[in-house]
Amino acid sequence: DAMVIQNPRYQVTQFGKPVTLSCSQTLNHNVMYWYQQKSSQAPKLLFHYYDKDFNNEADTPDNFQSRRPNTSFCFLDIRSPGLGDAAMYLCATSEERTKETQYFGPGTRLLVL
Amino acid sequence: SQKIEQNSEALNIQEGKTATLTCNYTNYSPAYLQWYRQDPGRGPVFLLLIRENEKEKRKERLKVTFDTTLKQSLFHITASQPADSATYLCALERDDYKLSFGAGTTVTVRA
């Protein structure tokens, strides 16, 4: 089945220790998104890739970076995680920018100690 | 500023009854609105999309209405079942093809 896969499902890191979360998709979609979702809050868009074009949200901290080496994979790098970065990180795809539906992965729960 | 508000209280209903969820928005002019379901510890799953020129959309036991004058969408789950227990998120199209999500309403259906 075509899908969006996120690894790992749970990640524990230490305060200030860089961490990378990964997302892969078998849908061959052009657009990939990264969202941050804290408990009982709305998913918040961090950035997205349209093909190779990177689009940052204005309020995304510099601490968050992303890489998309090819169509299938996208990575979220948190350079110096703080306690406030503990959250669920959701990867999503859509076929094109003009295609409205987004397909989400299961998420990675990040814990910062 | 832009705001999306969903029922802040969780909804507890008896199996077989209809659940009605509200999504109100301010300072958006969405061309469409979507509803997603999110189970605990999982990513959202798309349910329905309704466009600004559509008043109502149905899918099986789900019904969505969209009133651009009131700036409100209602989401109905009819003949609810315990398996419908989840958090339901509304999402609005921003003016740049991206989505803005509400915080969701948690529905619990009692057997």
pLDDT (tens digit per residue) in A3-23: 999 999 999 999 999 999 999
* Preferred mutation among A24, A35, A37, A46 to probe B, highest tally of B CBs within 10 A: A37
* Cross-chain residue pair B97–A4, CB shorter than 8 Å: no
What's the gap in Å between the CA of B1 and the closest CA on chain A? 14
Position B34 scores a pLDDT of: 95
> Low-confidence residues of chain B, pLDDT below 70?
none
Position A100 scores a pLDDT of: 81
In degrees and rounded to multiples of 5, residue B80 shows phi and psi of -60, 150
Maximum pairwise Cα distance, chain B: 43
Looking at the predicted structure, is the pLDDT value of residue A98 above 80?
Answer: no
Position A1 scores a pLDDT of: 67
Angstrom distance (rounded) from CA B99 to CA A35: 11
Nearest to B45 among A45, A104, A109 (CB): A104
* Preferred mutation among A5, A9, A102 to probe B, highest tally of B CBs within 10 A: A102
Residue written as tokens 């009133």?
B67
Position B102 scores a pLDDT of: 97
Mean pLDDT of A72-83: 97
Position B7 scores a pLDDT of: 86
* Preferred mutation among B25, B42, B54 to probe A, highest tally of A CBs within 10 A: B42
In whole numbers, what is the pLDDT of chain B averaged over residues? 94
Inter-CA distances, A70 with A57, A91, A102, A108, B97, Å: 21, 15, 19, 21, 22
What's the gap in Å between the CA of A7 and the closest CA on chain B? 13
Name A29's Cβ contacts closer than 8 Å, sequence gap at least 6: A71, A93, A94, A95, A96, A103
Confidence of residue A39 (pLDDT cuts 50, 70, 90): very high
Angstrom distance (rounded) from CA B38 to CA B103: 11
Residues of B (8-67) whose Cβ lies below 8 Å from A: 32, 34, 36, 41-46, 49
**Percent of chain A predicted with pLDDT > 90:** 93
Angstrom distance (rounded) from CA B77 to CA B75: 7
Do A6 and A21 form a contact (C-beta atoms < 8 A)? Answer: yes
Mean pLDDT of A44-62: 94
Mean pLDDT of A49-74: 95
Name A76's Cβ contacts closer than 8 Å, sequence gap at least 6: A20, A21, A22, A23, A34, A46, A64, A65, A66, A89, A91
| SS3 call for A84 | helix
CB crowding B30-61: b at 16 or more within 10 Å, else e: bebbbbbbbeeebbbebbbbbeeeeeebeeee
